[in-house]
Structure formats: structure tokens, C-alpha cells
Amino acid sequence: MQDKTTSEVAAAAAATTVDEGNAPAVQDFAATAAATAAVAAGCQIYPPTSFQVCGAIRDKYNQMGGPTSFLLFPKSNELTNPGNTGKRSEFIGGNIYWSAATGAHPVAHEFLFKWGDHGYETGFLKYPKTDEIVLSDGISRRQQFQGGHIYWSPATGAHSIQGAIYDKWTALGAETGVLKFPTSDEVVAPDGTGRFTTFQGGAIYWHPTTGAHPVYGPLHMFWGLSGYEAGPYGYPTGDPVYTGDNVSQTFQRGTIQLWDGQLGGVHQVDESDELTLDDTWIFPEYPAWPPTPDTFADWNTVDDPDGSLAEQNRQEAVMVDNALATLGGYEVTRYLWKHMYEDPGIAVTLAPSTIDEWMEESFTGIDGFTAPALVRSANRDRTVATAIEYADRLNKPFKATFIAIDKDDEGVERKRWILTRGLSGSDQWYAAGRYSMSACTSVIARPGPAGQHPIKLVQQAHTYDVYDFDPEYTNSLPVDFATEITLRGFRLGINKWFQVFGHGSQIAWEGLR
């Protein structure tokens, strides 16, 4: 596109000799044509607007396609930015900014909004150095500025990232690495000194004495449950270190590790420090509910105009309840079964005594499921051994807290409850078929000879399950019968799956190990 010439202006004026019915439009065009004649050297207008776009900004605009680009038509003349640091022209779809150091680049949509949050060119990001750059997924984008970067994806929106945190993130593969896209701008930590940026897969924390380090996966979860950098571990001082499937990471005042299905940390304590009731309330988050979008796809999908099907289903549910009462020893099963019909969809918390019973050694597990007692004992032994190891090595009292977590189908350990259940024929087996658990142990150990380390220990088991019925489940006649009944009731909308929680009693122990 070139600047308008005098002959083009004359031709535009001649075109105004049309019928009077179009007089207003003709006058507008004539006014535009007149304005064209006054275009400054090196500038250009784009009818029907009369705004002048000039110099390098004009060249960039034309290169992009002018009004046919996403910027559309101009809505301002060229403007001088604060402090006379550069120029800009504003368009319907965004702006183009120019400075002598960076040249002319468009900033639009969410990039413009985020840049504006930080003060535009007067903020720490300063002027744009690039246009938007499409990333490898073909959808997401980034843009580079003098003081940092803005990244955008449909899932996370636009966020700025800069400095040492940006350098660490790119070293880890940027958006294609383990952390993926940023979900926040850089945030000042509560202490007023540190900084952090959160990502889809974790976070990067920076402190002037420790540098920038990522925290992600189960270690990030445990560190967060312990209070992040304000907790007993402080800021990370190194990146995660992997040894096979195991991983550990050092912090200012301790170490967090995931080792053989035990996730936790160990840190130095004072001689006066004691265990608290809160120590064993660190456990994996309950899974999202419903676990899949189609969990309730069949709920209330069967028509029952006269209510006869619902009445029949309720009578059949009473038959199941009577059968359980006749068998005896299935109090929890009966309670959960009745709850499904009487309070559909409402979560249930079981009594600590019930969870304690499931933790007994007699519940040995079947069909490849891990016995709860084994999970709990492994959690206790690992925690005690770690606390003693650090106490002896550094000749100071140390506190270790570990939770038990499971592996996913690919063998990668993560924040997940351990799938387990008790003996066949136990109350819980008929109640829901299986349940998940996590044991949490906290130990304070002091240095000493072998077998003579003063130990204080507290442990607690936590369980979780979803009370539901699988339409493809087959096992035995009583279970199949109950499954068939409850699925019919579910489709009629008179019962509903629900969550079951449980927290066992705390076990305290003090002695020598």
C-alpha cells in the first residue's frame, strides 16, 4: 500500500457527484478525501477512517495486511508514548508500538491486557521485541519484551515470566517440559523477599540466597501441605534429584523425598519441639468427584410415570438390607446401603473405630490388593529410619513426616491413595468392594547408639472410597443381586453414588530404637 496521491484525491472528489439521496455518505467521503490531501509525509490513511499511520508503524501495519489483518482499522493518529520513549498507533484489534531499540511490533488481545497490567512500556516489561510467536502446539503463543516474556495458552490465559525464574523454566523445557505453561505472573512471597511463579505442573521459587529452583509433582504437594516456604523446610536450594524411581530435593532447613512409596520430609528441630495432632493430618488430597464426567450419565434416565418401578426398587433394597441383617456382622454395609437410598449423593464420614478395625493385621488383603496393616507398618518403619539417619549424621534431633502413596498404571509415583482392602468376607468388602488408604507417621529422633535412639512417634490412617456399583461387576450371587438392584435405582434417580471418608485413631508411642 502506498500514500494517497493528489490525483487519487481529485478522483475521490469527483465521485461525490451522485444523487441527493446519498448526500450524507457523499459528504463523509468528501471529508475523508479532503483529510487525505493533508496527510503528513511518511504517513498514510485508510478510508473510511481519517487517522494517519506513519513511519515504521505504517510499514509494520501494511506488512501485516493493513485493515485486513487482525488489527482492523486504525482508531488514533500516531501517539507519543510517556517520556518520549517511543511511538504507538491504536487500532480496533490492538496497538502497534515502536521504539528506536526494538522497532515496531503489534501487541493485541490478551497480550495487550496483560502488558497493560504491568504498566505497558513504562513497566518492567518495557517495549515488545517481537510479534506474537506461535508455539509448537499451533495454538498457544508467546511474545518477548525488553524486560521479560508473556505466554498465552487457551487453558491458562496470558501470564508474564522473566528473570531467573524464566531462565530456569526454559532450562527445563519451557512449556514443553514438566512444568508446562505458567498459571500466574511472578508473585512476591509473603516474606517480601522471595518470588515464585506457578505453572500447570508445579512452581519455580526464587530467593536471593538460594536462586531459582522448581518444585513439582508429589514433592510440591507435600511441601505445600507443610506450608510452602513459610513452613519448616523453607525455600528449595536445589532441583529434584532422581535415583531410579525415587526422587529427593533439598531445602533450606531439610529434605523432601519420595522413596519406595513413602512421600515426606525430614528437618532439624529444637530439643523442646514436640509432635502435634496436626502432624498426621498430612495426606493426599481426595480424588476429584465425580471421577469422570460420565459418572452420573445414567442417573435418573428411566421414566416411571406412576412410580411403580421406584416402589418395586425400594422393596428390593429392603430385601438386601434384611439379608445383611440375617448374615450378621455387616453393620457398616447396612449403614452405607441405607444411606445411598435415604441421603443420596451426600458424603459419609466413618467412625475412627471402623478404620482402626480395618488396620488390624487380620485384614491381610486378597486378589493382589495390599493389606492395610502392611501399608501402615511400611510407612512407620520408613519414617523412623529416616529420622534416625539424619539425627546420627548431623548429631542433632530431627523430625521426619511421611505419608504412603501409590503408583499409577505407568509405575510413576504420585499423590494418590493406595488401593487396598481387607479379608474376603469382611464388612468393608461387601460395603464397597475395596477402599483406598493413606497412612501418615511423624517421628522425632535424637542421636544415640544403635538401638538406643530416643524416639517419639505418632501415626494415623486415613481412608477414602466412592460408594458406587459397576454394571460389569460379577462375583457372587448376593453381590450380583445387590448390584442389579442399585443400578436400577440409580437409573430411576432414587439413589446416588457418594464419597466415603474415614480417619483412624492416632497411635502414639515413645521409646528407644
Mean pLDDT of 191-208: 98
Beta-strand ranges (E) seen in 52-155 are 53-54, 79-80, 87-91, 94-99, 103-107, 133-134, 141-145, 148-153
Name which residue leads in pLDDT, 327 or 224: 224
| Set of cell numbers at residue 39 | 496527510
Sequence-ordered list of residues with C-beta below 8 angstroms from that of 265, at least 6 positions apart, any chain: 222, 223, 226, 233, 251, 254, 255, 256, 257, 400, 401, 402
- Give a yes or no: residue 417 inside a domain: yes
What does DSSP assign to residue 289?
S
Written as nine digits, the cell of 139 is 495454538
Q: Which of 240, 289, 282, 291 is nearest to 263 (CA)?
A: 282
Mean pLDDT of 480-498: 92
Q: What is the mean pLDDT of the chain?
A: 88
> Quick one: DSSP state of residue 84?
G
Q: Which residue has the higher pLDDT, 458 or 284?
A: 458
What is the residue type of 220? H
- Note the pLDDT of residue 427: 57
Residue 420 — very low, low, confident or very high, per pLDDT cuts 50/70/90? Answer: confident
Is residue 498 included in any domain, yes or no?
Answer: yes
| Backbone φ and ψ of 145, nearest 5° | -120, 170
User: What 8-state DSSP symbol labels residue 434?
Assistant: -
pLDDT of residue 16: 34
Residue 221 belongs to some domain of the structure: no
What cell does 23 get? 448526500
Per-residue pLDDT for 24 more than 60? Answer: no
The tally of domains found in the chain comes to 1
Average pLDDT estimate for 1-13 = 34
Question: CA 206, 117, 178: angle at the middle one, nearest 5?
Answer: 40
The cell for 471 is 454394571
Cα separation values, 159 from 148, 187, 207, Å: 11, 11, 21
Q: Is 276 helix (H, G, I), strand (E, B) or coil?
A: coil
Is residue 470 in some structural domain?
yes
What does the alpha-carbon distance between residue 161 and residue 150 come to, in Å, rounded to a whole number?
6
Residue 324 within any structural domain of the chain: yes
What amino acid is encoded at 494 in this protein? I
The model's confidence at residue 481, banded by pLDDT at 50, 70 and 90, is: confident
C-alpha cell at 456: 517419639
Q: In the numeric block, which cell numbers belong to residue 427?
A: 464388612
Q: Flag whether pLDDT at 495 surpasses 60.
A: yes
Tell me 414's DSSP state: -
- Residue 101 CA to residue 116 CA, distance in Å, equals 20
Supply the DSSP symbol for 37. Answer: T
Distance CA 459, CA 481 (A): 39
Confidence (pLDDT) at 392: 96
Contact 349, 336 (CB under 8 A): no
Quickly count: other Cβ atoms within 10 Å of residue 275's Cβ.
Answer: 19
Is residue 497 over pLDDT 70? yes
Predicted confidence (pLDDT) at residue 224 exceeds the cutoff of 90: yes
CB 222 within 8 A of CB 196: no
Q: Cell numbers at residue 359, please?
A: 488396620
User: Is the residue at 328 inside a domain?
Assistant: yes
* Distance (Å, whole) CA 298 – CA 93: 46
To 5 degrees, how large is the angle CA 138–CA 142–CA 148? Answer: 165
Cβ-contact 86, 79 below 8 angstroms:
no
Helix (H, G, I), strand (E, B) or coil at 144: strand
Q: What is the DSSP letter of 206?
A: E
pLDDT for residue 72 is more than 80: yes
Sign of the Cα pseudo-torsion (405, 406, 407, 408, in order) = negative
Q: Is residue 474 part of a domain?
A: yes
Tell whether the model's pLDDT for residue 430 goes beyond 60.
no
| Residue corresponding to grid cell 434384611 | 322
What is the pTM (predicted TM-score) of this model?
Answer: 0.83
Whole-angstrom distance, CA of residue 109 vs CA of residue 458: 54
Do 233 and 222 touch, CB atoms closer than 8 A?
Answer: no
Domain assignment present for 118: no
More confident site: 66 or 261: 66
Q: How far apart are CA 355 and CA 420, in angstroms?
A: 13
DSSP reduced 3-state for 277 = helix
Q: Given this model, what pLDDT does residue 77 score?
A: 97
Tell me the residue range of the domain where 385 lies: 308-424+433-512
**pLDDT of 128 higher than 80:** yes
Distances in Å between the Cα of 131 and the Cα atoms of 43, 141, 142, 382, 457 are 22, 10, 9, 53, 59
Residue 131: pLDDT above 50?
yes
What integer pLDDT is reported at residue 359 of this predicted model?
A: 87
Confidence check: pLDDT of 144 > 90: yes
Contact between 257 and 217 (Cβ < 8 Å)? no
